[in-house]
Amino acid sequence: MRIAVLSGKGGTGKTFVSVNLACAAEQSVYADYDVEEPNGHLFLNPERTVKAPVTVMVPEVDMGQCIRCRRCVDFCKYNALALVQDKVLVFYEVCHSCGGCALFCPAKAIAEKERAIGSIEEGESGNVTVLTGCLNTGEASGIPIIKGLMDKLPKDGDIMIDCPPGSACVAMESIRAADYCVLVAEPTLFGVHNLSMVYDLAKLFKKPFGVVLNKCLPEENPAERFCVEHQIRVLARIPYDEELGRLNSKGRIAAREDKRYRALFERLLEALRKEAVS
């Protein structure tokens, strides 16, 4: 069962929910797809880690072979190449690695070379296999790293995907292979706005989904009202609890240290199992 944990903004509780779900399972995989700021590893502290680079292919132009025909420049939809003063300039961060320039070059002057844009780290934290995607600072797109993580996921078992915040390309790529989406929401109007973004995304991708209401206070919860209005299943309510804040701030995991929360996440996992198969 592949569970993608989403929210419209950072700080809502995606990592909290996905890390705790992974720990509440007997055996699981936690995959951090938030490649711009992966932080699940801060809680899980994986051991025996192995790190491998993630590379993309980019063009390398041999100016000795180049006949200055401009075919590559004109072909590139992303404008990653320019020809000025008899020299081809390549803008790696704009390149989408389609390989078209090399394919269309009549002089065979363009070869493709690997360029590292980040890494994937794999390790163990008790019952949890931890996969962490990390995009190098300054890189434009985390998509290749998310694809790399996707290839590393086992076929079966409980897999928790900690998605990047928002509903842009990286979030779309993250939920593509998910069986079920968990939308984490805060009890504020701002939270409702963010919830509505990922709600639209899950619907667009025709993924089954439910909501976890986080940081719940005794007063009325606008996010819950949104769920009622849109007939969205509320899977769990996590209270606004100082003890949780204390544990989190120390990098500790509630489901491993606190019986109440262990029980809460076991119930959530059980609910997800039922939801994901139905």
Q: Which residues bind another protein (CB under 8 A)?
A: 73, 76-80, 82-85, 87, 89, 91, 93-94, 140-141, 168-169
The owner of tokens 């590559």 is 72
In the bound state with another protein, the residue whose beta carbon lies nearer, of 105 and 235, is: 105
Q: Which residue, 88 or 184, has its beta carbon nearer to another protein?
A: 88
CB of 52 to another protein, least distance (A): 25
Query: In the chain, which residue ranges form alpha helices assigned H by DSSP?
Result: 14-24, 40-44, 71-75, 100-104, 143-152, 169-175, 189-204, 222-229, 242-249, 254-257, 259-277
User: In the bound complex, what is the minimum distance in angstroms from residue 107's beta carbon to another protein?
Assistant: 20
Taking the least distance from each CB to another protein, the nearer of 169 and 189 is 169
> Smallest distance, Å, CB 177 to another protein?
22
Query: Which single residue is written with the structure tokens 């008790």?
Result: 126
Would strands 2-6 and 110-125 be described as parallel, antiparallel, or unpaired?
A: unpaired
**In the bound complex, what is the minimum distance in angstroms from residue 85's beta carbon to another protein?**
6
Enter the DSSP assignment of 230. T
- The least distance separating another protein from the CB of residue 164, rounded to whole angstroms, comes to 13
Closer Cβ to another protein, 42 or 168, answer by number = 168
Nearer to another protein, 72 or 175 (CB): 72
- Round to whole Å and give the CA distance between 162 and 42: 13
- Helices 14-24, 259-277: axis angle to 10 degrees equals 90
